[in-house]
Amino acid sequence: MDIDGLFARALGAASASYSPYSHFRVGAAILCADDSIVTGANVENRSFGLTTCAERNALVSAVGQGKHKFSMIAIATPDSDYPVSPCGACRQALSEFMGAETPVVFGHSLKDIVVTTIGQLFPYDALHELAK
């Protein structure tokens, strides 16, 4: 799966967003090591603290299917005017399962995406030391 294809899947996942409060749809698509793709969308709650981001929904779904190794993630925010990166909580959650070199693609349209890595989004991640 290439970057454009995975981003297109994330964009499609955004259509399943439940965002009646912010009207800000987000979709995520994770490419698993076995070449399968798991998607997720943001799910808001009127108690904003209980809102779940698309990235974490996709990650939790993948782990629930027994997948623990991932090759890339794409995040689509079609309602923004510019590429919106993952929030801090998502960066932390993604770093639990993805190495620093794992590609992260995010944007609002295929014509305006950012390609980076977990390590660039979440530098100095010392928590991996706990697993040793």
In the chain, the domains with their CATH numbers are 3-131 (3.40.140.10)
Instruction: Find, among 53, 47, 52, the residue nearest to 76 by Cα.
Output: 53
Written as tens digits, the pLDDT of the chain (132 aa) is 799 999 999 999 999 999 999 999 999 999 999 999 999 999 999 998 899 999 999 999 999 999 999 999 999 999 999 999 999 999 999 999 999 999 999 999 999 999 999 999 998 887 766 665
The reply to whether the predicted model has a pTM over 0.75 is yes
| DSSP one-letter code for 92 | H
DSSP letter, residue 100: T
Residues 10, 28 contacting (CB under 8 angstroms): yes
129 is catalytic: no
**Do 26 and 44 touch, CB atoms closer than 8 A?**
no
Catalytic residue among 55, 96, 101, 129: 55
Look at the block and give the residue holding tokens 């040793």.
132
Q: Half-sphere exposure of residue 81, counting CA atoms within 13 Å on the CB side?
A: 0
Sign of torsion, CA 132 60 114 83? negative
Bridge partner list, 76: 27, 107
Q: Are 56 and 26 in contact (CB under 8 A)?
A: no
